[in-house]
Amino acid sequence: MMNIIKITLLLTTLFFITACGYHLRGNLDLPDALKQIYITGASTQLRDMLKKTLRSSDVTLATNASDAGIVIQVEKEKMRRHVVSLNSSGRSNEYELYYVLNFLLLDSDGKPLSDVQLIEITRDYFNDQEELLAKNNEEKMIKDEIYRQAIISMINRSRIALQKMTQQIN
């Protein structure tokens, strides 16, 4: 009897989780045109994070623009770190990471699918003077999350641009 209750509870929980649209982080449900992406002009960090993010979604980076369903042309990409506050001895207490990304979405023939897109992301973090190694690791993790957020935004904007394109054709 106890096993039946456990199984019923487990099945009910799984049903509710799937019904609310829950999916594993990083797993993107993409249309066929986004299964092959070509990116040009991106930094190594953005390109590496794009590969990591797309790996779980059955998407590959195309080796040339003609094989891709969509081309992401990075026009400008910059990561800056600013001191936000200082302690009494003049050392930084808090930093702000500021990331800006301008990109253009193109089809495989090089025709623009949208105007230049802008993504700006900022994150603040505390600078612990006692834990230098932890501080460096925290900054790397924050930067990775910024790149991941920018990629998700690029993919979502690509999806919208492709939908607009197919609506214009039909």
Whole-model pTM? 0.75
Residue 50 and residue 34 in contact, taking contact as beta carbons nearer than 8 Å: no
How many structural domains are present in the chain? 1
The pLDDT tens digits of the residues spanning 14-44 come to 666 665 554 445 555 566 767 888 999 999 9
Q: Which helix (H) or strand (E) holds 106?
A: strand 92-106
Domain containing residue 108:
2-169
Residue 5: Cβ-neighbour burial (10 angstroms; 0-12, 13-18, 19+): exposed
Give the helix, strand, coil percentages of the chain, each rounded to 5. Answer: 45, 30, 25
Least confident of 69-73, 136-140, 144-148, 150-154: 136-140
**What CATH number did the domain enclosing 101 receive?**
3.30.160.150
Q: Which is higher by pLDDT, 75 or 132?
A: 75
pLDDT digits (tens, 9 = 90+) for 108-149: 888 998 899 999 999 998 877 676 666 678 889 999 999 999
Dihedrals φ, ψ of 24, to 5°? Answer: -65, 145
